[in-house]
């Protein structure tokens, strides 16, 4: 019993001695005797590596600014170890440590002081590496958030200074949770896109699409890729290149345009022969069914029973035979419009029987298979016109503000405030296709296969029935083609052009009329008129007061002549019969 008591007593003495030894460390540190303090701490830790008091004083040792070994990283490491070794704060713990003031509060206060000092130091440096070092070694929600924010701000600022996609890529890889991640992603995507497609070729856009399938600019890249690819194949308007494009890139958004260009190229005048040639040359084109319908429109434009019968006979492969049967069964109807109480219906001319009740607000007469009609007034009490068939269905929806009858399968239509002259005109076919875009100031009917158009810029040109610019708008004024020649004005002079837009002969006139039966009237001053042939020969020099209008082979003209009678001179108008060759016979 005595022996056990002695051992216990010795242990208590050793503990008290150790405590006194460690607590003396504070005085040594205060006196600047850092080496002696470290020796005492080392001895205590040598006996017990988990001695929380020794670990605490080691933290104080490294956190002493007077110590040449001052090091907040080490101080923080030891205070964390000390806190982890700190026993539960029971009554026994308080009694044991009361004299020396050890408590979790004291330890936590030191930890907080070390954190503040460490953060203040790296904040003074204000470098990305310093903040990263702090975040790697110090853990506290408050200071971690501050260090992370400042670190991210600096890193993002550096990336913005470089302003290339790789700098933002590196930023996102290193700091995926940064507040600037969204902006960094946006700038990365933008700069990456601009870098990859900087040469502006379809190959560059294709590379972008292949290598960055989830990129933000994929839709824009796809659109530009398809457009540039189409432009490369179509810029020369070569039929073979267009054909290659259509079948090499069937999903391209411009395929339909390419097919329309190919159709327009292959069938420049849209007659049945060239349309059939198109079907034979491009049997797999998506346009083939449409082309068949165009052939049908051309061949049966007169809406006669015989035309439908001949069509089936000549084109047995036509894929829409039910359409032919339906139209043929209605061809005999000769309809005319009648009005009742402000509405219009239709009756049969043969027996005057009513075929359609008055339900339309405005109609024109049937022109072949179709008739212009308005189903209801618009909000401003104007009408929207479409075209109904003989079953009184809108074959072409009422979307136009002004329409003209179909002729040879084509109709002029207008959109806009047409009554006040603020209208744009174009041409559609019986399928409702826009043959000529609705963007012209004026469009005339076709003459000699060409229609005069006035562009939005006020220039005159000519288009064919496929909507192609045969003669680009370039003249200040013009008239319809007549006998394959048209009179046009450029600046102040009038002259004649052929179907290619080439000046037929060099002479320029003050005024001219259309050619008829190979001759035209011309004037050099607007006062007297002569006759010119279509080959440029002057048949009759200007002599006559009015333009000459031939009726068959001759024209009746008046010629002012000087007469001397009884020494007096006067001028009289004499009537002559003028022949096309320039011969004149006075009419007595």
Give the pLDDT score at 17. 41
Which residues lie across from 576 on neighbouring strands? 557, 586
| DSSP reduced 3-state for 485 | strand
| DSSP reduced 3-state for 367 | strand
552-578 pLDDT, tens digit each: 888 888 887 777 776 677 777 888 888
Q: What is the dihedral of CA 552, 558, 559, 560, to 10 degrees?
A: -170
What fold does the segment set 2-125 form as a domain? Answer: 1.25.40
Give the pLDDT score at 551. 83
CA–CA dist 55, 62 (Å, integer)? 11
CA–CA dist 232, 224 (Å, integer)? 12
Q: What is the dihedral of CA 224, 229, 231, 232, to 10 degrees?
A: 140
For the chain, which residues make up each domain, given as ranges?
2-125, 141-196, 203-329
CA–CA dist 545, 527 (Å, integer)? 6
Place of tokens 């006062």: 527
Give the pLDDT score at 573. 80
Contact 535, 542 (CB under 8 A): no
Give the pLDDT score at 90. 64
pTM above 0.95, yes or no: no
Give the pLDDT score at 582. 86
Taking CA atoms, 588 is separated from 312, 558, 574, in Å, by 62, 12, 9
Which positions of the chain have pLDDT values less than 50?
Answer: 1-20
CA–CA dist 327, 372 (Å, integer)? 17
The secondary structure of 44-106 as a DSSP string is: HHHH-TT-HHHHHHHHHHHT-TTSTT--HHHHHHHHHHHHHHPPP--HHHHHHHTTTT--HHH
230-267 pLDDT, tens digit each: 999 998 888 889 888 988 998 999 988 888 888 887 77
User: How many residues in the chain?
Assistant: 588
Contact 270, 294 (CB under 8 A): yes
Nearest to 336 by CA among 301, 367, 376: 367
Give the pLDDT score at 100. 61
Backbone conformation region of residue 241, classed left if phi is above 0, alpha if psi is from -120 to 50, else beta: alpha
Rg, C-alpha atoms of the chain: 49
Angle at 104 between CA 101 and CA 108, to 5 degrees: 110
Burial of 45 (0-12, 13-18, 19+ CB in 10 A): middle
The angle, 0 to 180 degrees and rounded to 10, between the axes of the packed helices 239-248 and 218-234 is 150
User: In the β-sheet with 394-400, what is the strand arrangement from edge to edge?
Assistant: 362-363, 371-377, 383-388, 394-400
For residue 430 the two structure tokens come to 């019986």
The sign one gets for the Cα dihedral 503, 506, 507, 510 is positive
């Amino acid at each position: 019993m005595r022996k056990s008591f002695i051992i216990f007593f010795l242990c208590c003495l050793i503990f008290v001695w150790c405590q006194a030894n460690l607590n003396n460390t504070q005085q040594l540190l205060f006196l600047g005797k850092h080496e002696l303090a470290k020796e005492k701490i080392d001895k205590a830790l040598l006996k017990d590596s988990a001695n929380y008091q020794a670990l605490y004083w080691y933290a104080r040792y490294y956190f002493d600014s007077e110590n040449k070994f001052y090091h907040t990283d080490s101080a923080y490491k030891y205070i964390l170890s000390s806190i982890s070794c700190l026993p539960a704060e029971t009554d026994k713990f308080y009694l044991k440590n009361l004299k020396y003031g050890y408590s979790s509060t004291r330890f936590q206060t030191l930890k907080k002081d070390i954190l503040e000092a460490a953060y203040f130091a790296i904040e003074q440096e204000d470098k990305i590496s310093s903040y990263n070092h702090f975040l790697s070694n110090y853990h506290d929600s408050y200071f971690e958030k501050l260090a992370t924010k400042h670190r991210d701000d600096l890193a993002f600022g550096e990336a913005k200074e470089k302003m290339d996609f790789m700098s933002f890529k590196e930023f996102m890889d290193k700091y995926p949770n940064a507040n600037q991640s969204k902006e960094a992603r946006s700038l990365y995507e933008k700069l990456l896109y601009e870098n990859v497609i900087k040469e502006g070729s379809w190959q560059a856009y294709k590379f972008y699409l292949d290598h960055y399938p989830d990129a933000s600019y994929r839709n824009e890249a796809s659109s530009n890729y398809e457009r540039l690819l189409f432009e490369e194949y179509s810029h020369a308007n070569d039929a073979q290149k267009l054909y290659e494009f259509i079948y090499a890139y069937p999903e391209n958004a411009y395929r339909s345009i390419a097919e329309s260009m190919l159709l327009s190229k292959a069938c420049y005048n849209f007659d049945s022969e060239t349309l059939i040639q198109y079907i034979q040359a491009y049997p797999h084109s998506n346009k083939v069914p449409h082309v068949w319908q165009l052939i049908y429109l051309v061949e049966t434009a007169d809406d006669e029973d015989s035309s439908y019968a001949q069509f089936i006979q000549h084109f047995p492969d036509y894929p829409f035979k039910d359409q032919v049967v339906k139209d043929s069964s209605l061809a005999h109807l000769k309809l005319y419009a009648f009005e009742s109480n402000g509405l219009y219906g239709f009756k049969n001319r043969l027996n005057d029987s009513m075929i359609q009740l008055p339900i339309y607000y405005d109609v024109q007469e049937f022109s072949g298979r179709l008739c212009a009609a308005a189903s209801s007034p618009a909000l401003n009490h104007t009408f929207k016109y479409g075209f109904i068939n003989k079953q009184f269905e809108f074959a072409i929806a009422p979307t136009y503000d002004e329409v003209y009858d179909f002729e040879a399968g084509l109709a002029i239509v207008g959109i806009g405030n047409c009554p006040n002259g603020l209208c744009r005109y174009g041409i559609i076919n019986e399928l409702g296709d826009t043959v000529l875009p609705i963007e012209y100031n004026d469009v005339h009917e076709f003459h000699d296969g060409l229609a005069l158009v006035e562009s939005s810029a006020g220039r005159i040109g000519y288009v064919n029935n496929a909507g192609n610019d045969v003669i680009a708008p370039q003249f200040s004024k013009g008239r319809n083609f007549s006998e394959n020649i048209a009179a046009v004005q450029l600046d102040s002079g009038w002259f004649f052009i052929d179907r290619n837009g080439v000046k037929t002969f060099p002479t320029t006139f003050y005024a001219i009329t259309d050619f008829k039966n190979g001759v035209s009237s011309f004037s050099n001053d607007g006062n007297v008129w002569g006759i010119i042939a279509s080959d440029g020969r002057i048949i009759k020099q200007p002599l006559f007061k009015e333009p000459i209008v031939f009726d068959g082979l001759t024209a009746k003209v008046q010629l002012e002549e000087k007469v001397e009678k009884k020494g007096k001179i006067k001028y009289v108008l004499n009537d002559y019969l003028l022949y096309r060759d320039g011969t004149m016979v006075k009419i007595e």
